[in-house]
Amino acid sequence: MVARGIGSTTRDRLAVSAGGPVLLVELCQFRVRRMNMANVITLKATERTEFGKGPARRLRAAGQVPAVVYGQGHDPKHIVLEGHESMLALRQENQLLSIEVEGQSPVLALPKEVQRDVMTGFLKHVDLLSITSGQKVNVQVALRVEGESAPGTIVNTEFSEIDVEADAMSIPDALTISVEGLEAGSSILFKDITLPEGVELVDDPEAVVASVQFPDAEDLGDEDEEDAEDESEEAAE
């Protein structure tokens, strides 16, 4: 099984084998970096009055982005954002935004879905979720791995994000998992992660987040072949 490394923006959940004992790791240390929620980014917006593919293309050509604000207690609001400012603001996942439309009260919102051009990375469409202070929201928070496991072992990561429920005003920026010195056979489960106060786990608590193993013979063979090729190239030189 090959897992994507931690830090991928796309969630990559791989099947976890049900066989074999799972060792709870008491030595794992988890560090939480909280978002500075005072860092609310303000985005100016206008109401969108034209709809369809044609008007949307014209907006993008003019450096603007069509967007929709969803939320409880109000109908979806169709707005237009400035493309460059929005692209910069949305580099950070779960970034708290203040959407300001002239003549209306500012609306606090979180990114719900962001569509980007696969070639340029420019924004094509943004869905936002309006929130209020104290409101609980389900979000995906990035998982990051630090440290090195015991010599001769490798770390397989099964998840790049963790699903949690948190106050919309205090969403963790990321959770960092330390695998420093862990031996082969060690596994880290979602339930092993100490979450910040007010944050609750949504994911399966028994799911394996990361495991420490000895490399497969096939992996070792690939490394030996690469070493042999390097030696041959050096001899030829």
Q: Specify the pTM.
A: 0.66
Architecture of domain 41-130: Beta Barrel (2.40)
pLDDT means per 10 residues, the chain with 237 residues, are 34 33 35 47 94 93 95 90 94 92 93 92 94 90 92 94 92 88 93 89 95 78 56 54
CB atoms within 10 A of CB 196: 15
pLDDT per position as a tens digit, 45-71: 999 999 999 999 999 999 999 999 999
Q: Where are the domains of the chain?
A: 23-35+136-236, 41-130
Task: Please state the CATH superfamily assignment of the domain spanning residues 23-35+136-236 in this structure.
Answer: Ribosomal protein L25, C-terminal domain (2.170.120.20)
Place of tokens 């209020």: 132
Measured CA to CA, the distance from residue 27 to residue 168 in angstroms comes to 31
